[in-house]
Structure 1
Amino acid sequence: MNYTNSPIEQINFNNQKYFIKRDDLLHKDFSGNKARKFYYFLKNDFLNIKKVISFGSAQSNAMYSLAVLCKIKAWKFDYYVDHIASYLKENPVGNYKYAKEFGMNIIEDKVPNKFEEEELFISEGGAIKEASFGIEILANEIKTWAKENQIKNLKVFLPSGTGTTALYLQKFLPFEVITCSCVGDDEYLQKQFLELEKNNFPTIIKKDKKYHFGKLYKEFYEIHKELLNQTKIEFDLLYDSLGWICLDKYVQNLQNRDFEILYIHQGGLLGNISMEERYSFKFNKKEEKRLC
């Protein structure tokens, strides 16, 4: 299993044509941008490594992908979080549930300052230079597809957390890479770029308003359902929903569009299980109250 060469499909959304790089279909357990970021660790040997240590939120896509990676490589996996909601502990669901089933040891504490020789530390979200290994492969897949289909004027879009995937795609592609900030603001994203590279950054398109990562927004839920309805493709509720809001506005504001757009699907669909529950509880309850 090589976890590469995801298909590219053409869709129409809100009367606009797009191509979708279906990285959600790489593998049922190891997909999306996290599979690309961690591909280096999957394909190379680390004879002295016995444990991976990382940190983040208790429903992180990276957490789940690392749990799968460690299972494949027969490594132990310690994952540090600031807090686990009591409801989640009592009712495991989504990335949290399945990461634990893959053997993750989750710890509510601060990450240690020092690590043993047999321990591999991976920064939150996979914001690491090693991520360039798998993302270059993704870029080469895009270049091959564009050449085979005689597409010379292409823009590649994907939403960003740490921005690592967008950053390295821009490094390896001859096309413009466009992104939007999902976790912090645009300044945070630019700082993240600078942690890994000194120039040649993706284009960050502006958002209409400030969004707090992980908070529920009705427009996220609505565009998620509309995408599913129009394209028959399920997208991630955390990143893809905001990504499509930004991209849709960007395209609708163009007077003339003389380029094709390739959207990189973010994977992370296991995270939708818990997000769907939260959205349904919040907005369906409000609708019931309104109708009473």
Structure 2
Amino acid sequence: MMRESVQILEKKIFIKRDDLLDFGITGFNGNKARKFLSLLDSQYEVFVSFGGNQSNAMQVLAALAKARGKEFFYITSEPPKFLRTSPMGNFAFGLAHNVRYVFAPAGSRVEVLENLAREVFAQQYKRYGERALFIPQGGSEELAMRGMRELVRELCEMIESKASSDIAESKKSKALDSDNVWSRSGGNGGFAPIDDTQEQRSCNTIMLFITAGSGVSARSFVRAQCEMRRECDNGQCESKNAGDMELITLCCAGEIGGVGRTLCADFAFGSLQAEVWAMYHKLLAQGIEFDLLYDCVGFVLLERALEQGYFSDEDLAKPWVFVHSGGLLGNASQILRYERKFGVSFLHAQKIPHKKNPL
């Protein structure tokens, strides 16, 4: 679903609204629903996973487990007293959806959480055997492939539909409208008369932006895109436009390999940044809420890159599509943290200075 757009500096960016995905399960949407789509109709009886107490993956698995009558054990560090007393966000969602929380000591490292999760899984495996599933933090590429293939297919359908309508319109007018970013032929904003073959190629090429933490979604997207391109080359096309998307991965928690071009944050994942808080309000003022951990960081990286001239004229001439990762429940606790540090709002979108980042 892609019905809206935002603007960063002078660049219009279309939004693939994965936060609005609807599989008939409240809370099962966004990036993590893509990752766990293969579990919708699985025969597993129990899931075991681990991570933070406001994890988006935990929320989606909790929604799925309750809707399908599964048990879900989730290992996380002991939450702070205020969160235990007044649950909010994804933690509250998990409590309401019967998550079997197992708490490690407060501040436990991820290795401690994983070891405890594997102990819990071993116990459940004795009960359920192959019907028990251990899920790494944030999921895995194997689990994610079904959802990422679906994302590639949906984007390809969007490209084909938009290209067809643009070509039909251009044949009528003999010239492309200057507001039509899908068919722009040059970085200077001009439009040139071109034949149908060239026009089809221009329309069918997009810049796609996905935010990433561990990189599972980005790597599985690349795999799905490559698989579908090979299938098309072999005459088994599911989506003939699979190769017409250039992925830019917006890395929120460090460098990620194997995902094409990347823009990476130069601050710690989850740290409070004034420019991220300002970006949250800039985007909210344009009518769409994004999460503070991933998407708002991604837009900060895009804004920096635009300011520093990272993108070529060819890049800028293409339509840009940003995949909304969802995860909005997690904003409840994040907003409180930001308000305590920076105040209630940046609604006037004042300029927040940041370090120059050699992208």
**TM band (smaller chain):** 0.7 to 0.9
Matching residue's letter, 1:218: A
Q: Secondary structure at the match of 2:13?
A: strand
- Partner of residue 178, structure 1: 248
1:79 positional shift: 0.1
Matching residue's letter, 1:251: L
1:12 positional shift: 2.6
- Partner of residue 103, structure 1: 98
**Is residue 219 of structure 1 aligned with residue 275 of structure 2?**
yes
* 8 A Cα contact 2:263 2:301, kept in partner: yes
* 8 A Cα contact 1:32 1:267, kept in partner: yes
- Partner of residue 142, structure 1: 155
Partners of 2:34 and 2:66 lie apart in 1 by 17
RMSD: 1.9
- Partner of residue 198, structure 1: none
Partners of 2:90 and 2:329 lie apart in 1 by 6
Give unmatched runs, 5+ long, in structure 1.
1-5, 194-200, 288-292
- Partner of residue 133, structure 1: 146
1:220 positional shift: 0.8
Partners of 2:217 and 2:268 lie apart in 1 by 21
Q: Secondary structure at the match of 1:59?
A: coil
**Is residue 90 of structure 1 aligned with residue 85 of structure 2?**
yes
Question: What is the aligned counterpart of 2:209 among 152, 157, 170?
Answer: 157
Matching residue's letter, 1:152: N
Q: Secondary structure at the match of 1:125?
A: coil
The 5 Å alignment of 1:11-50 reads 11-27=6-22, 28-42=26-40, 44-46=41-43, 49-50=44-45
Question: What is the aligned counterpart of 1:168 among 220, 226, 239?
Answer: 220
Q: Find the structure with the greater CA-based Rg.
A: 2
Partners of 1:143 and 1:45 lie apart in 2 by 27
Q: Secondary structure at the match of 1:107?
A: strand
1:227-286 CA distances to partner (integer Å, 9 max, x unpaired)? 111x2100010001110011122234135222111000010000011111111122128x
Q: Secondary structure at the match of 1:97?
A: helix
- Partner of residue 326, structure 2: 267
Q: Secondary structure at the match of 1:149?
A: helix
1:89 positional shift: 0.9
* 8 A Cα contact 1:166 1:202, kept in partner: no
Matching residue's letter, 1:233: I
- Partner of residue 300, structure 2: 245
266-275 or 172-181, larger mean C-alpha shift: 172-181
Q: Secondary structure at the match of 1:80?
A: strand
1:169 positional shift: 2.0
Partners of 1:283 and 1:17 lie apart in 2 by 28
Q: Secondary structure at the match of 2:306?
A: helix
Fraction of identical pairs, as percent? 31
Give unmatched runs, 5+ long, in structure 2.
105-115, 164-202, 226-241, 347-359
- Partner of residue 3, structure 1: none
Partners of 2:324 and 2:143 lie apart in 1 by 21
Q: Secondary structure at the match of 1:124?
A: coil
Matching residue's letter, 2:305: Y
Q: Secondary structure at the match of 1:212?
A: coil
Aligned residue pair count = 264
Matching residue's letter, 1:34: K
- Partner of residue 113, structure 2: none
- Partner of residue 337, structure 2: 278
